[in-house]
Structure 1
Amino acid sequence: MSNSHLFLKSGFPRAPLQNGLGRYVCQLQRITLKFCKNNGSSKGMRDFIENHLVDFAKENPGIVVYVKPRRHRTPVLVGEYLNGDREWLSCRNSTQEEITKWVDLLRTQNGSSSSLRLRKMWHTDVPSIQGPWTPFLLRSPEAHGQEYPSVEASKPLDAPQTATEKLIELFRQQKQLGDEDVLSQKRAE
């Protein structure tokens, strides 16, 4: 097990600003594309800028796009989110399609998902006063000493009677009544 989680910020998972309960607010505030104009590792980034960047900017008017040429540096995507987090991705030797996927990933994230060590696996804004549910919460006390697999344990508690079982019970009752009538007639004779 690695200790890389020790260097991450820790916190509780939260939906940013109750996003999705009303209208959707894109959490990506700005994206910066850094590349070299003539370095070979930036070819995919240059192709993306030439072919897809204008369409991306038209489809997402709420996202500010910066293009930053830098000499002799590796291509980088930097996404900045409304909560102040920054996501940094190296795009060295990436193709145009891969960069399109990375940009789409940055656009759909909320910024804190990958850079946050979760302190709990679940979170709710309104915690229950009854406590969390466990698998042993509503289990009957008779189940503690049973060996599994068990036919009795597999039956649901207080199961409603099936139609077939009701018919069998009615038949037995009628048969008992019929037998009692026959016995009473024999006694009368």
Structure 2
Amino acid sequence: MSNTSLVFTPSFIKNPSQNGLGRYVCQLQRVVLKFCKNNGSSRGMREFIEEELVDYARSNPGVVVYLKPRRHRGPVISAEYLNGDKQWINCRNFTKVEIFKWLNLLKTQQGDTTGLRFRKLWHTEMPSIQGPWTPYTFRPSSLNLISFPNEDLSKAPEEESATDKLIELYKKQRISES
């Protein structure tokens, strides 16, 4: 199996993790706001469209915004990205502020990374139940209650260091040789 078959993602920008290194390219291409003209759960979407949509479209000229009225359906935000990913958010009973926040979140993302499928070269029947290791795994829990900087922890150790022990062993070896 070659490395090219490990990840299946079409991409417009070859390495999206470096987006913004030279210049930033907004990955959000198109937003479709689907709503019902009469349904009560679409009230926040209708308020956003009436009061905030023009300002949002002016502040984001690279994003195309479509409105799609639908009968007897709940409100939905559908987003499409440059790399072909699509995201769908159910906006039932959202306020106009929540819809604005969701649109800003969609604008700053690179697409739906949760649907990304990685193929591994190995497989195990018994995965680990211990969880991932972190640098804090085996730290003493008494450090949770200490406020830093702490004088007790910053004191020099009372016992000899390994370097001092090696120097002393070297001196003893030289004396015994002569």
So what's the TM-score if we normalise by structure 2? 0.58
Q: What's the Cα RMSD here?
A: 3.0
In the TM superposition, residue 168 of structure 1 has moved relative to its aligned partner by 0.8
1:22 is aligned to 22
- Asked whether 1:94 is paired with 2:90, we answer no
- Asked whether 1:12 is paired with 2:8, we answer yes
Report the structure number with the largest CA radius of gyration: 1
Match for 1:75: what amino acid?
A: P
Match for 1:83: what amino acid?
A: N
State the distance in 2 between where 1:175 and 1:86 align. Answer: 77
Aligned to 1:117, the other structure's residue is in SS state: coil
Relative to structure 1, the CA distance from residue 173 to residue 86 in structure 2 (aligned partners, 3 Å threshold; closer, same or farther) is: closer
Match for 2:77: what amino acid?
A: L
**Identical columns (%):** 54
In the TM superposition, residue 40 of structure 1 has moved relative to its aligned partner by 0.7
Give the stretch that moved more between structures: 73-82 or 14-23.
Answer: 14-23
Q: Which runs of no fewer than 5 residues in structure 1 stay unpaired?
A: 1-9, 122-160, 181-189
Match for 1:12: what amino acid?
A: F
In the TM superposition, residue 63 of structure 1 has moved relative to its aligned partner by 0.5
- Aligned residues of 2:78 and 2:88 also touching (Cα < 8 A): yes
So what's the TM-score if we normalise by structure 1? 0.55
Relative to structure 1, the CA distance from residue 15 to residue 80 in structure 2 (aligned partners, 3 Å threshold; closer, same or farther) is: closer
State the distance in 1 between where 2:167 and 2:33 align. Answer: 75
Aligned to 1:89, the other structure's residue is in SS state: strand
Match for 1:165: what amino acid?
A: K
- Aligned residues of 2:35 and 2:69 also touching (Cα < 8 A): yes
1:109 is aligned to 109
In the TM superposition, residue 11 of structure 1 has moved relative to its aligned partner by 4.1
State the distance in 2 between where 1:51 and 1:120 align. Answer: 49
2:48 is aligned to 48
Instruction: Count the aligned residue pairs.
Output: 130
State the distance in 1 between where 2:174 and 2:74 align. Answer: 90
- Aligned residues of 2:28 and 2:106 also touching (Cα < 8 A): yes
Q: Which runs of no fewer than 5 residues in structure 2 stay unpaired?
A: 1-5, 122-160
Aligned to 1:116, the other structure's residue is in SS state: coil
In the TM superposition, residue 66 of structure 1 has moved relative to its aligned partner by 1.4
